[in-house]
Structure 1
Amino acid sequence: MDVRAAILLLFLTMLSVSKAKLDVHYYEETCPELEKIVSDTLLNASKHDPKVPPRILRMFFHDCFIRGCDASVLLDSSPGNKAEKDGPPNKSVASFYVVDDAKAKIEKACPGTVSCADILAIAARDVVTMSGGPYWNVLKGRKDGRISKASDTLKLPPPSSNVTQLTKMFAKKGFGIKDLVTLSGAHTLGFSHCSSFQPRLHNFSSLHDTDPSIDSEFAHDLRTKCPSNKPHNHKKGKNDGHFLDSTASVFDNDYYKRMIARKSVLLSDQSLVWDSRTRRIVEDFARDQGLFFREFVDSMLKLGSLVNDVGEVRLNCRVVN
């Protein structure tokens, strides 16, 4: 066996060991009330702010896609380091206080036991379920990372990406075409600010002012909400953008139906129906919500398994111990 083969074998062994440490029953004896505490916290927060579910789900994806699911997205910036949450793609990620609240309650019930990464993984499952989506058993045992850099957020898929760009970014994380289409379905919950899709509406190309792939009536609606002469940012207010599907508070397959109808808000979403590599999957999910739910569970378990052995159990999710 040559050196490169030996290194590859060692890496694969480490990866399998890392994944093997995750266990549904990881806290069964040390913190039996964990899942109830997280669920109750999310339900209470969502009653007061309906934006909590999509924000938590997006937070989980943005965390796992950088360094694996290590809660690095929860760390605050320090004088010597600009953290992930302050990177450009995460400027509109919010509701960190919900995780903080759950963590504080869990620390009272079982001090120094549960990682922030596991809390976020459970929370992501819970917001899907409470919004009408599928339930799955969350594997636990993740550690909290100690590194968080704003520059790493450039690895997140931008809303202007095409399928070729998306497949390359997802492949680097071990995801295939089906995972890409499936995880994009998380957009069935949520809202996008004008800054993420305004380039589709004004001066799109030398031939078209508006992206011709958008349904004309829908494009008119978007242009009304996001006129070219109005500056936009995520702090302008709730009307500064558009919901990503017509049932934005319900986890369903409407996202895929609207894609086929040329009513996707984001270019990265609309591109999935125009590319032959992804169109069939989009059509299948649009026809069969149960199929989408089953595939979503599989892909979320795969996403949640992006972990490593290096880390700690933070006492405060915003700072390292």
Structure 2
Amino acid sequence: MGLLFFLALLFGASCAQLTENFYDQTCPRLPNIVRQEVKRAIETDIRAGAKLIRFHFHDCFVQGCDGSVLLEDAPGIDSELNGQGNLGIQGLEIVDAIKAAVESECPGVVSCADVLALAAKQSVDVQGGPSWRVLFGRRDSRTANRTGADELPSPFETLEPLKKKFEAVGLDSTDLVALSGAHTFGRSRCMFFSGRFSNFNGTGQPDPTLDPAYRQELERGCTDGETRVNFDPTTPDTFDKNYYTNLQANRGLLTSDQVLFSTPGADTIEIVNRLGSREGTFFRQFRVSMIKMGNIRPLTGNQGEIRRNCRRVNELGGEAGHDVM
């Protein structure tokens, strides 16, 4: 009873409408279908998992977890993909493949927002990270929010703006540090961190929180701004706690990574040390924070729709998917 009460407090009233068994009757093989497609994608593109979890993150931070990030430009739709925070985001074709496989077996049943939530979980699990029980029942928005996508957390931001953006969606400092741990895999383009190499913030000097040997390694690897570099220089394709040991060694790739550990007096320093102390500690907190993030303002019940094609809204008056509960 105590655990159930804790979970109710943690996830809020909206989560009561999301359930683990939402698709048990209408699409019972959903987890297996998505896992198979995620594994297939990672086999051909090692960055696929990181791409999928980024889509889920960017979806939930803009008007809630509603699949709006996937909508392309159309009459009445100014795509979030055009927003400053989504420039260069990749993997839409991977989402398409997963959705197509789901539609083949369970047509008109599973929302794109739920596909993103489950694909993010499977991506982490397949690459050595923790597993968790995804709650389902999100529905897809018929609108996008380009302005919101312009205000997504930035790789150039210092700690206080990052904390404010997380607080605005109900996430605290622990969630910020735990979810940033997803940068234990994936790549970043050099344009997002090369400003740390010299004349950092107009000082005429490199970023003092960037390890000099690591800086030289990055400079050699960055032939231009489009070059991609591993987030984690130690185990780049494995989901583990090395993100935090990298921060402790001043080897965080982005400004927004390193400020979690290098901002004097910050409450995030202790959290970095705690999550970096044992892999199990990081994994447990990552599970909690991912579930919490996945329940930011979902559309449920009769809100929104079940999109057949994640890139565009259903045609009114046509087959729009059906309710499952």
Q: TM-score, normalised by structure 2?
A: 0.88
Q: Is 36-45 or 105-114 further displaced after alignment?
A: 105-114
Are the counterparts in 2 of residues 159 and 268 from structure 1 also a CA contact under 8 Å? yes
Q: In terms of mean alpha carbon deviation, does 198-207 or 46-55 score higher?
A: 198-207
In the alignment of these two chains, the number of paired residues is 298
**Structure 1 residues not aligned, in runs of 5+:** 1-14, 234-239
Q: Does 1:272 align with 2:260?
A: yes
What corresponds to 2:46 in structure 1?
50
C-alpha distance in 2, partners of 1:191/1:125? 19
Shift of 1:57: 0.8
Counterparts of residues 9-28 of structure 1 (less than 5 Å): 16-28=12-24
Q: Does 1:170 align with 2:166?
A: yes
Mapped to 1, the partners of 2:130 and 2:204 lie a distance apart of 40
In structure 2, the residue matched to 1:213 is 209
> 1:13-57, CA deviations, whole angstroms, 9 ceiling, x for partnerless residues?
xx9553211000000001111111111111111111111011101
Residue 313 (1) aligns with residue 279 (2): no
Shift in Å at residue 272 of structure 1?
0.6
Could you tell me how far apart the structure 2 residues matched to 1:294 and 1:28 are?
26
**CA positional deviation for 1:241:** 3.2
Q: List, as ranges, runs of 4+ consecutive aligned residues in structure 1 with deviation greater than 4 Å.
A: none
Kindly indicate whether the alpha-carbon contact (under 8 Å) linking 2:184 and 2:241 is maintained by their aligned counterparts in 1. Answer: yes
Matches within 5 A, 1:232-247: 232-233=225-226, 240-245=227-232, 246-247=234-235
Indicate the SS of the match to 2:229: strand
Cα separation, 2, equivalents of 1:188 and 1:69:
23
Cα distance in 2 for partners of 1:308, 1:78 equals 21
Unaligned 5+ runs, structure 2: 1-10, 315-325
For 1:29, the aligned partner's letter is Q
Aligned-pair distance for 1:205?
A: 4.0
CA deviations over 1:204-262 (Å, ceiling 9, x no partner): 144443111111111111222336xx5x23xxxxxx13211121210000000010001
CA–CA separation in structure 1 for the residues paired with 2:12 and 2:258: 36
- Aligned partner of 2:107 in structure 1 is 111
Structure 1: how far apart are the matches of 2:257 and 2:13? 35
Corresponding position: 1:224 with 2:220: yes
> What is the rounded CA distance, in whole Å, between the counterparts of 1:110 and 1:82 in structure 2?
29
After TM superposition, give the deviation of residue 162 of structure 1 in Å.
Answer: 1.2
1:282 aligns with 272
In the superposition, the TM-score normalised over structure 1's length comes to: 0.89
Q: Identity, % of aligned pairs? A: 40
- How far apart in 1 are the matches of 2:198 and 2:125? 37
Q: Which residue of 2 aligns with 1:237?
A: none
- Residue from 60, 77, 85 that aligns with 2:73: 77
State the match for 1:132 in structure 2. Answer: 128
Residue of structure 2 in register with 1:12 after alignment: none
Question: Residue type of the partner of 2:278?
Answer: D
Equivalent-residue separation in structure 2 for 1:258 and 1:163 (angstroms) = 17
Residue 262, structure 1, aligned to residue 255, structure 2: no
Matched, 1:181 2:177: yes
Contact 1:63 1:72 in 2 (8 A): yes
Deviations 1:280-314 (A, max 9, x none): 11011111110000000000000011113331100
How far off is 1:108 after superposition? Answer: 2.0
